[in-house]
Structure 1
Amino acid sequence: MINSIGLRYFVGVARVGSIRRAAEELHVAASAISRQIHLLEEDLGSALFERHRGQKMMKLTPAGEVVLAYARGVEDGLEQVRTDIRSIKTLQRGTVKLGISESFTREFLPQFLQRFHTLYPGINFEVVVAGGSKLVEQLARDELDISLSYIAPDIFDITVVEQVFIKPCLLVASNHAFAKRPFVDLSECADEEMALPDETLTIRGSYVRMFAKAKIKPRSVMVTNSFELMRASATAGLCVAIVNKYFGGPKSPRGLKYVPLRGKGVEKWPLNICVHTDRNLPAAARIFLEHLQQAVRRFAADD
């Protein structure tokens, strides 16, 4: 294990380019810094600074550059530890950066956030609503802590930490002929005017596959990139829509009905919670992630 004192002195010299200046900033003797760096070089078996007669500024060797990168990683890790400890001391204060698909913004997300905020009032939220592909990109850039969407990421930097499968439903107005049915066969939707997602929504591929397997051609009265518009249009009686099941409680909101879909072609949708691989999430985000995982497991248990 690298000596922490030697590493600290090494970083100080690398930052200012001089043992004398580093000694002044660190309030230690220059001889002590010089000795610690010498011991560190002996331990690693390589010179960390170039040494030339008449050289005014100390420059790192390639080995020194490697050690400096390591030292910065250690410092970043320690700062995260300090942040986490402060979060615990202040009753988990912090900010969670969440990315979520639009289909969860009306029923699931507000109620989930309200319950979580009651338990952890010191944690606030930054929420991005976007398509699954966009959320994966933002996760990879660490612009988000967590994402919830139907897309399965296809890049190495993203990990699915929870995946459940949700059956789609047919959303109809409460006065629709299907509203009193316990379920509807997908083939029965052939004559229904429907609202469908457009090509910008990842989930569209599932619609295409389902209709192909059921051997029906949907009658689309609307194609849109908004699940909210699809739901509102079905509620108004303009059309029907295939959406995820209702997550808001035991009863559907007044004026509409979520009818389970069955039959050939119906496929479950994979709901994924994703994080950036190997990223050390802040304490607030880790707490939030645990609660989110529990919530989506309840979705699957009810299906």
Structure 2
Amino acid sequence: MLFSDFRRGREKKVANSFVHVHLVALRYFSETVRSGSMRQAGEVLAVSASAINRQIMKLEDQLQCRLFERRAEGVRLTAAGEVLYQYVRRLDRELERAIGQIDDLRGLRRGHVHIACEAGIGRDFLPAVLADFHASHPGVTYKVEIKSALEILEQVATDEIDIGIAMSPPTRPEAAIGGRALMPLGVIAAPGWPLAAKSSLRLQDLGGERYIRAKDGMGGGYGWQKIIDQGAPQAAILETNSPDIMSVMVKAGLGIGIRSPIGIMSDLSRGELSFVPLDDSLAPHPSLTLFVRGGRILSSGGAVMLEMLREALPAFSQRVWDLAGAQMPLGGISTGAS
């Protein structure tokens, strides 16, 4: 037998065997990659680690290659495993779309919508929209992930989610804007702060104030934080990647913070924090932005959800501006796709 004949025979065997790969085995494989170990994957899937290992060993036998390097601390993908994982991710997305199209035929009696948003948006904006949607479509389920703005854009660009909601992240060509609304940016402080009685502030008013600095992209978008650092002479005594930690530290009297009201609306309503709007060209207003992948046709559930999110933007935006004690800019809302 010539080597080329042997190779063609082996390739045919692998191709034929792969047809019989069970979706359960691929699911076990995919969750092991995400979890980093078979034990943790077993906890997520409610099966034993040994059951997951058996299915993965069958996959390796069918494909005639190792998919993981097994280590004491967990597993690591081999080159072949990386190839398979990219395939499985595409398969997951295509299967979800197929199920979504089938659900469309049922008139939204069933379905699933995958959303990623920042924590403050998930706290103050999303719940009311989901409640209204659920009242009309009780058979639809949801997955809501809390991510940073950059992670949300990455998930939109790679088609891992249906809808992303973030505050002014850098744009990407793969991500289309489904709607957006300008939001106020201001100074948060503990009650009784001397400047809290002001109707608005400029950055130069903050000289000498102790400052809780947010990592760029937290609490109101990207880019403006660096501008504020250059334009304001206040001393940053603490830096955090969590808007919630910033608020807690401000409440404790450690200093002031700069952010949007989204995520602390209850604190502001109860008077536990003060908010003074910034009126300064060096501190532009961030936008609460809805994202979808450009060119993607959403399932009926995703399309209806996106429309409800768009419709909710004007009223929510007005609530935020009223709570901030500031006037919403003209043209501050866009509910059309771009």
Normalising by structure 1, what TM-score?
Answer: 0.64
241-250 or 137-146, which moves further after superposition?
241-250
Matched residue type, 2:224? S
- Paired residue secondary structure (1:178): helix
Change (3 A) 1:246 1:79: closer
Change (3 A) 1:77 1:138: closer
Change (3 A) 1:232 1:250: closer
Pair 1:83-2:103 in alignment = yes
Tell me the residue number matched to 2:276: 259
State the 1:225 CA deviation.
0.8
In 1, distance between residues paired with 2:273 and 2:96?
Answer: 51
Report sequence identity in percent.
Answer: 22
In 2, distance between residues paired with 1:208 and 1:99?
Answer: 26
Q: C-alpha deviations, 1:243-263, integer Å up to 9, x for none?
A: 113574896233112221123
Map 1:22-41 onto structure 2 (within 5 A): none
RMSD (CA atoms): 3.2
In 2, distance between residues paired with 1:76 and 1:261?
Answer: 44
Structure 1 unaligned spans of 5+: 1-15, 17-74
Tell me the residue number matched to 1:24: none
Map 1:78-157 onto structure 2 (within 5 A): 80-88=100-108, 90=109, 93-157=110-174
Tell me the residue number matched to 1:47: none
Change (3 A) 1:171 1:251: closer
184-193 or 149-158, which moves further after superposition?
149-158
In 2, distance between residues paired with 1:124 and 1:76?
Answer: 13
Pair 1:172-2:189 in alignment = yes
Tell me the residue number matched to 2:240: 224
Q: C-alpha deviations, 1:257-286, integer Å up to 9, x for none?
A: 222112342211132211011212122221
Of the three residues 255, 265, 269, the one matched with 1:239 is 255
Change (3 A) 1:77 1:193: closer
Change (3 A) 1:94 1:177: farther
Q: How many residues align?
A: 227
- Paired residue secondary structure (1:167): coil
Q: C-alpha deviations, 1:120-149, integer Å up to 9, x for none?
A: 433332111112221111122222110111
- Tell me if structure 1 keeps the 8 A contact 2:100–2:111: no
State the 1:226 CA deviation.
0.6
Pair 1:203-2:248 in alignment = no
Change (3 A) 1:138 1:262: same
Tell me the residue number matched to 2:208: 191
In 2, distance between residues paired with 1:182 and 1:175?
Answer: 15
Matched residue type, 1:162? G
- Tell me if structure 2 keeps the 8 A contact 1:167–1:245: yes
Change (3 A) 1:106 1:221: farther
Pair 1:293-2:323 in alignment = no
In 2, distance between residues paired with 1:77 and 1:235?
Answer: 45
Map 1:263-278 onto structure 2 (within 5 A): 263-278=280-295
Matched residue type, 2:288? L
Q: C-alpha deviations, 1:87-119, integer Å up to 9, x for none?
A: 43x2xx322211112332333333443444344
In 1, distance between residues paired with 2:99 and 2:144?
Answer: 25
Tell me the residue number matched to 2:298: 281
In 1, distance between residues paired with 2:121 and 2:100?
Answer: 31
- Tell me if structure 2 keeps the 8 A contact 1:102–1:226: no
State the 1:196 CA deviation.
1.3
- Tell me if structure 2 keeps the 8 A contact 1:96–1:126: yes
- Tell me if structure 1 keeps the 8 A contact 2:216–2:225: no
Structure whose CA Rg is larger: 1
- Tell me if structure 2 keeps the 8 A contact 1:210–1:267: no
Matched residue type, 1:85? L
143-152 or 192-201, which moves further after superposition?
192-201
Matched residue type, 1:245? P
Change (3 A) 1:137 1:257: same
In 1, distance between residues paired with 2:250 and 2:150?
Answer: 26
150-159 or 139-148, which moves further after superposition?
150-159
In 1, distance between residues paired with 2:138 and 2:96?
Answer: 27
